[in-house]
Chains A and B, each alone.
Chain A
Amino acid sequence: SQTIHQWPATLVQPVGSPLSLECTVEGTSNPNLYWYRQAAGRGLQLLFYSIGIDQISSEVPQNLSASRPQDRQFILSSKKLLLSDSGFYLCASASSGSGELFFGEGSRLTVL
């Protein structure tokens, strides 16, 4: 099975500051990688997915961006955070072709 590492686990940032959330995957190669956001009391919203290095698709227009500099590394970034960016961010990985979707433990972002 895969192991997903996410950090930081908790982050409090002021409005207008930059953001970088990192995710690394162990136990597989060439996975499909995903960033989801979970607002309080809501389901999971897909933000970005990647089928390979430097191949990123955005599902929702916003001030966030994602990058995949290495096969098993996925980064979520922002140049200037908004209050509405607060939430619980989850990185997920799935082996190409099928298979179970594995989630990281999440990063809780609070923008003040």
Chain B
Amino acid sequence: GESVGLHLPTLSVQEGDNSIINCAYSNSASDYFIWYKQESGKGPQFIIDIRSNMDKRQGQRVTVLLNKTVKHLSLQIAATQPGDSAVYFCAEAKGGSQGNLIFGKGTKLSVKP
């Protein structure tokens, strides 16, 4: 079964605004978390990851925040662009391996011009 879920199935933002996509996980033993972006009809693409010994990690225009106390993960996208429109999945794993990931259902992000 799925132990990783998402608070909102859809998110609509204005171009240029910041987006925040949230995710809750239930397995406190998970120590590796990943965000994927999936454009329509394509396979998921890795965006950013974070290990449980970190609270925050930044990439290009994206930031992942991990709150282990409440088992919450979020993805922040700065200055959202139309090309960011996609479904975003969070995933968790144990042992630092991406192989046996548990994926959430996904949040569909729509960017309005």
Contact B43 A32 (CB under 8 A): no
**Which chain B residues (51-103) contact chain A, with CB distance < 8 Å?**
89, 91, 96-101, 103
Contact B98 A90 (CB under 8 A): no
Contact B43 A106 (CB under 8 A): yes
Contact B46 A101 (CB under 8 A): yes
Q: How far is the CB of A38 from chain B (nearest CB, A)?
A: 8
Q: How far is the CB of A21 from chain B (nearest CB, A)?
A: 13
Q: How far is the CB of A8 from chain B (nearest CB, A)?
A: 14
Contact A103 B43 (CB under 8 A): yes
Interface membership of A75, Cβ < 8 A: no
User: Residue on A with the closest CB to B104?
Assistant: A43
C-alpha spacing A104/B45, complex, angstroms:
9
User: Residue on B with the closest CB to A43?
Assistant: B103
C-alpha spacing A101/B35, complex, angstroms:
11
Q: A45 to chain B: which residues have CB within 8 Å?
A: 103
Contacts between chains A and B (CB distance < 8 A), count? 52
**Which chain B residues (21-57) contact chain A, with CB distance < 8 Å?**
34, 41-46
Q: A71 to chain B: which residues have CB within 8 Å?
A: none
Given contacts A43-B2, A101-B46, contact A106 B41 (CB under 8 A): yes
User: Residue on B with the closest CB to A104?
Assistant: B43
Interface range, B side: 20 to 34
User: Residue on A with the closest CB to B43?
Assistant: A103
User: Residue on A with the closest CB to B44?
Assistant: A103
**Which chain B residues (1-25) contact chain A, with CB distance < 8 Å?**
2, 4
Q: How far is the CB of B93 from chain A (nearest CB, A)?
A: 9
Interface membership of A112, Cβ < 8 A: no
Contact B98 A94 (CB under 8 A): yes
Report which of A44, A98, A106 forms a contact with B101, defined as CB distance below 8 A: A44
C-alpha spacing A45/B97, complex, angstroms:
16
Contact A90 B44 (CB under 8 A): yes
Q: Which residues of A contact B (CB under 8 A)?
A: 4, 6, 32, 34, 41-46, 49, 90, 92, 94, 98-106, 108
The 7 nearest A-B residue pairs measured at CB: A103-B43, A43-B103, A101-B98, A44-B103, A43-B105, A106-B43, A100-B46
